[in-house]
Chains A and B, each alone.
Chain A
Amino acid sequence: MTRVMVVDDHPMWRQGVARDLAEAGYDVVATTGEGGQAVRIAPAARPDVVVLDLQLPDISGVEVIRGLLAALPGVRVLMLSASGEEQRVLDAVKAGATGYLVKSASPEEFLEAVRRTAAGDAVFTPGLAGLVLGEYRRLAKDGGPAEDDAAPRLTDRETEVLRLVAKGLSYKQIAARLTLSHRTVQNHVQNTLGKLQLHNRVELTRYAIERGLDSPD
């Protein structure tokens, strides 16, 4: 049974989501409205999937995700967010969330997203695909020649797949159009996230080292 933790600061939402999950046969191991608490109880609750609202009263979504991944390295994070929070969604993805859904999604879409997140798939909305595409292009542009090696790049195929996701095609439709297997399409999408997260970790480490070396003490 897949273990799920629900983190959302609105009680009505939290309980609605928890009930939907329980009815669909998931084991809801914890629910909380605070990011800090989520990070603290994660080691005891040991969820496989965390359903996380990005807008929490105490700490940022990025901090929650970092904390969760530090406590439980294998945990999968499906984030929910309202529309119009592009930068926050992008930051959360870079911090390690693997799925994204807008809050207005139907219960069916939501349960499908949880199932796929638990299975280890990246759950993309068209909006997220647009954000990720934009982020690669920003990195390519801002990175400059000096950091050529550092800036992650998409292969042509990955770009093609991401653009189709952003235009609302399902993986099945994409597979048919590009004559690829469903699994291959999934892998391409996954890779685009993986590279971005790896780059983010490298950047963080580099930043930490630079700060460490630069500081006088």
Chain B
Amino acid sequence: MAEDRAPGLASSGPRSEATRAERAGRPGPPAIEASAASTAGTFQVPLWRAIAVFRFASMAYVVVMAAFNVTDYAHPLGAIPALAVLVGWSVAAAYLYARPGWLGWPLLGTDLAVTLLLLLASPWVVGRTAIDDGVPSLAVAWEASPVLAWAVSGGRRRGVIAALIVGAAEVTVRPDLAPASNTGLMLMLLAGVAVGHVARLAVESEQRLQRAVELEASTRERERLARGIHDSVLQVLALVQRRAAHLDGEAAELARLAGEQEAALRALVSGRTPRQRAGPEVDLREILDGFASPAVSIAAPATPVRLPASTAHEVGAAVGAALDNAARHGGGEARAWVLLEEEGGTVTVSVRDDGPGIPAGRLAEAARQGRLGVAQSIQGRIADLGGTVEIISAPGEGTEVELRLKVTA
């Protein structure tokens, strides 16, 4: 038998693919659990950029204000190093915040410290009287930058903390709480909360997207593996079963085993992969498919038969009881057929076997004797669901159990 394509279990391809899939499929806990500070997500990049813009704009504002008011300053020369720090740190911060590796407590702390330094230096440089006359401090407006940075890096709570610290410093600089500076403090607090909230949302959506991408990748990988197995292992198992089925003894046993494994493996790989399990309803076909075997045939529509989960599982249990009964009384040779139908709001499941059948009156007799048999187990379950059960049997004719259930469509 010349193979133009080897049934490829031996090749290392699928195995290494599998490991890769495992690796890809496992949601990396560090990436997701880690705080926002260490994983500046791509969603946050625009936020950092916006902060940098704000930082430069407010820096320009401070410089312009200083140029206008420098004549009123108590120590005009002191403004030179202060403004140098302001400009220098604005540039450095814009650069460092853009690099995820730098984002952390040292940077955030320094940012806040530089702001506090400028704020607290203002009474000396600008002078108490000038400040009381309404001349702005050396960090006016610019002081909101670290608040925004803290909020983006760690959410609302961090934003509020930074706003309170900067606010406290502001109060010491400007003790007479004028309405204007009050409003400024409130706005800073509000900015901390709002920006922190938005940053948190960005992180969450990014994580959600990440999980969706991973799930999709693992699903695709699973499908790919299923195709591979379908083309190789399953074909060989089916072939073994087919070729050895008519042989005697051990070979026939092997054929049977190969057949069973083929069915089991097929169910595993092709198995109705996560169909949308919307809500508490399940597809009764999926439950009945679990009973399929070389001895049990399942016939069902191509479209889902949805039932409430508990109802579907009760029906499944009743079908299982009927099949068990068929296997017990029919010996090893018995075959069984399950037919699932849905029409006009009624679901019908028929279970037929070709076993020896039940002699007339036998079921009633068993019930009279108080034995809990198939009748009890099946009829009890279905009656609880408001359905009906019909059992038709005659010696030598097999047994047919028909379960009928009204469903609210």
Contact B301 A134 (CB under 8 A): yes
Q: Hey, which chain A residues are within 8 Å of B297, CB to CB?
A: 125-127, 168
Q: Are B301 and A163 in contact (CB under 8 A)?
A: no
Q: Say whether B104 faces chain A, with CB atoms less than 8 Å apart.
A: no
Q: Answer yes or no: B241 CB below 8 A from chain A CBs.
A: yes
Q: Are B266 and A84 in contact (CB under 8 A)?
A: yes
B3, B262, B298, B350: the one contacting A104 at CB < 8 Å is: B262
Question: Given the known A-B contacts A107-B242, A137-B341, are A15 and B1 also in contact in the complex, defined by CB atoms under 8 Å?
Answer: yes
Q: Interface readout for B327-357 with A: 1 if CB under 8 Å, 0 if not?
A: 0000000011101111100000010101000
Choice from B243, B270, B292, B337 contacting A16 with Cβ under 8 Å: B243
Instruction: Kindly list chain A residues whose C-beta atoms are within 8 Å of the C-beta of B271.
Output: 84
Binds A, one of B29-37, B145-153, B230-238: B230-238
A25 close to B (CB within 8 Å): no
Cβ of B246 within 8 Å of any chain A Cβ, yes or no, is: yes
B364 within 8 A of A: no
A127 touches B259 (CB 8 A): no
Residue of B nearest to A86 (CB): B302
Chain B hits for A9, CB < 8 A: 231
Q: Is B400 an interface residue (CB 8 A)?
A: yes
What residue in chain A is nearest B4 (Cβ atoms)?
A11
Q: State in angstroms the CA–CA spacing of A103 and B231 once bound together.
A: 13
B21 at the interface (CB under 8 A from A): no
Which chain A residues border B272 with CB–CB below 8 Å? Answer: 84
- Please tell me if B239 contacts chain A, counting CB pairs below 8 Å: yes
CA A10 to CA B299, docked complex, whole Å: 27
B120 at the interface (CB under 8 A from A): no
Which A-chain residue is minimally distant from B231 (CB atoms)? Answer: A10
Tell me whether A167 is interfacial, beta carbon within 8 Å: yes
150-173 of chain A: CB within 8 A of chain B: 163, 166-169
The answer to whether A130 and B340 have CB atoms under 8 Å apart is yes
Indicate whether A134 sits within 8 Å of B341 (C-beta atoms), given known contacts A82-B234, A127-B297: yes
Give the residues from 221 to 280 in chain B that come closer than 8 angstroms, CB to CB, to chain A: 230-231, 234-236, 238-239, 241-243, 245-246, 259, 262-263, 266-267, 270-272
Contacts of B3 in A (CB 8 A): 11-12
- Is A79 an interface residue, CB under 8 A from the partner? no
Q: Is A133 part of the binding interface, using a Cβ–Cβ cutoff of 8 Å?
A: yes
Asked whether A197 is an interface residue with its Cβ less than 8 Å from the other chain, the reply is: no
Task: Indicate the member of A9, A127, A128, A166 with the most B CB atoms within 10 Å.
Answer: A166
Interface code B303-346, partner A: CB below 8 Å = 1, 0 otherwise?
Answer: 10000000000000000000000000000000111011111000
- Chain B residues within 8 Å of A168, by CB: 297, 335-337, 352, 354
- Complex contacts, B350 vs chain A, CB 8 Å: 163, 167
The answer to whether A130 touches B301, judged by C-beta atoms less than 8 angstroms apart, is yes
A55's closest neighbor in chain B, by CB? B230
Most chain A beta-carbon contacts within 10 A, residue among B1, B7, B303: B303
**CA gap between A90 and B302 in the complex, in Å:** 7
User: Given A84-B272, A104-B262, are A126 and B299 neighbors across the interface (CB < 8 Å)?
Assistant: yes
Chain B nearest CB, measured from A113 CB (Å): 13
A99, chain B: closest CB distance, angstroms: 16
Within 8 Å by CB of B242, from A16, A128, A131, lies A16
Contacts of B292 in A (CB 8 A): 83
> With the chains together, A119 CA to B208 CA distance in Å?
58
Assuming A107-B245, A107-B246, A130-B339, is B239 touching A167 (CB within 8 A)? Answer: no
> A167–B322 Cα gap in the complex (Å)?
14
CA distance A116 to B319 in the complex (A): 33
B368 within 8 A of A: no
State A138–B292 Cα separation when bound (angstroms): 24
CB nearest to B236 among chain A residues: A12
> Please, which residues of chain A bring their CB within 8 A of the CB of B299?
126-131, 133, 166-167
A87 contacts chain B at the CB level, 8 A cutoff: yes
Interface residues of B (CB under 8 A from A): 1-5, 7, 230-231, 234-236, 238-239, 241-243, 245-246, 259, 262-263, 266-267, 270-272, 289, 292, 294, 297-303, 335-337, 339-343, 350, 352, 354, 400
12 CB-based A-B contacts, threshold 8 Å: A11-B1, A11-B2, A83-B263, A85-B270, A87-B302, A104-B263, A104-B294, A126-B297, A126-B339, A131-B299, A166-B339, A168-B336
A-B pairs with lowest CB-CB distance, top 6? A134-B301, A130-B299, A168-B337, A166-B299, A86-B302, A166-B339
